[in-house]
């Protein structure tokens, strides 16, 4: 069985990716299975650059097909911040809670209709020869005032999907798996994998 390494230590992200790729007969591993792997410093200026760097670095180290993914939240009124800094928006010892508080403080006094945001996801596939392809997905929503729901991770409890009038934290994982930025990017990854594994 072919192995696909997911270049992440984020358990929430890994769980979502595994679920989205469950139709493939792939052995899915992650950086947890390669504790000696080099640390990838995310110093790219874009999600795409970070995703590509993760995929290439780990593909070269393992010799295996690797998926590097970088995603984050862009809030329109904050000039698309936190963007590539989404996971470390609140500084060195960032946590989901601290990151969410910083976003809420930055949006103090901003009415709901002006709290437009988008989750972005870039996914890069690489093997020992280099980058196979880079794709992306996007999901639009609004940043709520209060955390709602226990599902998901990151900014999910605040990210309202207007169509459902619910946050990603409240929506069942199976709905998120159809409409999220990661689901949309991974749908494209599936097509690439299908061709690659022929």
Kindly list the catalytic residues.
Answer: 70
Q: Give SS3 for 104.
A: helix
What string of DSSP letters covers 70-96? EEEEEEGGGTTEEGGGGGGTT-TT--H
- CA dist 127 and 145 (Å) reads 43
Strands 2-6 and 65-75: parallel
- Token duo for residue 73: 């939240």
């Amino acid at each position: 069985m072919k192995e696909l390494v997911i270049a992440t230590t984020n358990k929430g992200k890994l769980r979502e990716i595994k679920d989205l790729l469950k139709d493939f007969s792939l052995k899915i591993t992650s950086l947890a299975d390669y504790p000696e792997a080099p640390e990838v410093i995310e110093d790219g200026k874009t999600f795409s650059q970070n995703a590509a760097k993760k995929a290439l670095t780990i593909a070269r180290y393992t010799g295996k097909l690797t998926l590097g993914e970088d995603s984050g939240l862009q809030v329109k009124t904050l000039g698309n911040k936190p963007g590539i800094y989404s996971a470390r928006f609140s500084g060195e010892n960032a946590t989901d809670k601290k990151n969410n508080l910083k976003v809420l403080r930055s949006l103090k006094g901003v009415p709901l209709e002006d709290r437009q945001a988008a989750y972005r996801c870039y996914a890069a596939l690489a093997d020992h020869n280099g980058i196979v392809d880079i794709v992306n997905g996007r999901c639009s929503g609004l940043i709520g005032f209060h955390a709602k729901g226990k599902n998901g991770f990151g900014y999910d409890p605040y990210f309202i999907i207007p169509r459902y009038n619910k946050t990603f934290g409240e929506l069942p994982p199976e709905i998120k798996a159809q409409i999220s930025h990661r689901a949309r990017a991974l749908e494209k990854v599936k097509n690439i994998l299908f061709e690659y594994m022929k």
